[in-house]
Structure 1
């Protein structure tokens, strides 16, 4: 709904929290949230994404990039990734960009590598379509929940609507 109202960063922020909840369900005994998050993304969201058809040098959307984006957006209000937090060398991007496209726009991610004179890599870039990232996170979480409802018994809360009732 947030995407349909062009609230792209709100949609992304909400979608990026889903692996937190699903990771808690899948790995309840893991104390570190980052491990749960990345393991869940690796297992359920991006299982086939590291085999880039463009070559072994190209960056791709992996669990570390998603987790770094989550941390930057939710804790710093910056929709970016921290290169220093990425361990896989081909995913240490020098430039990360989010893309907004129309309904007929491309999906997935776009990557680029620039080589120097000696064929060493001098720059890596990754562009990610917000709507596609939201889609893959939401779809994975929905599928996971449908198949593992019993694992979510840790979610207990109560919200009471105490606003005055208005009648029209």
Structure 2
């Protein structure tokens, strides 16, 4: 997985933000399975648990007296929904039905992804005379910061695990363009 983390950072450095985000969003899938092998057939459960255990603190709004997160503006459920929407539909219109939006009944949800700004969250109320008032819960996430939080969380996680936990977690492929010289192809 070191290669994935390195490739996420390489994509960020070269300005390939969508590629970086797509790649970073698989990290909780892989590490969630390592941490929760009993959830092999429950990808959402292990994804959310890993994110909330290792990344959630980066998105905390409030903490418990013990130092845990009591309220956040982005959590494992939201990240899992973003992962699904981005990987399967190519957008970030996450499904609010799957998200616990406490105190926001009847409120629309909007997730915005940005480059070069900072995270923010809040509610916007749109009221036009003669029309229904609409409340929108907005969360804005910096793509670079999200990718870096996922990469750093993965690195921290790796330091707590046995190297054997990561066997069979690499993409194995052969780059033929690098082998042509040693195979005398075309000569």
TM-score, normalization by structure 2: 0.72
The corresponding residue for 1:100 is 115
The corresponding residue for 1:28 is 37
Query: How far is 1:77 from its partner?
Result: 1.0
**Max Rg structure:** 2
Aligned residues: 156
Unaligned runs of 5+ in 1: none
Alignment partners' CA distance in 1, 2:142 and 2:136? 20
CA 1:7–1:48 in structure 2 vs 1: closer, same or farther (change >3 Å)? closer
Alignment partners' CA distance in 2, 1:157 and 1:14? 13
Give 1 or 2: higher strand fraction: 2
RMSD: 2.9
Is residue 18–residue 137 contact of structure 1 (8 Å, CA) maintained in 2? yes
Query: How far is 1:23 from its partner?
Result: 0.3
Alignment partners' CA distance in 2, 1:123 and 1:59? 17
TM-score, normalization by structure 1: 0.79
Alignment partners' CA distance in 2, 1:2 and 1:156? 19
Unaligned runs of 5+ in 2: 1-9, 64-70, 128-133, 183-187
Alignment partners' CA distance in 2, 1:157 and 1:6? 24
**Which stretch shifts more, 36-45 or 90-99?**
90-99
Verify: 1:79 aligned to 2:129, yes or no.
no
Give 1 or 2: higher helix fraction: 2
SS of 2:138's equivalent in the other structure is strand
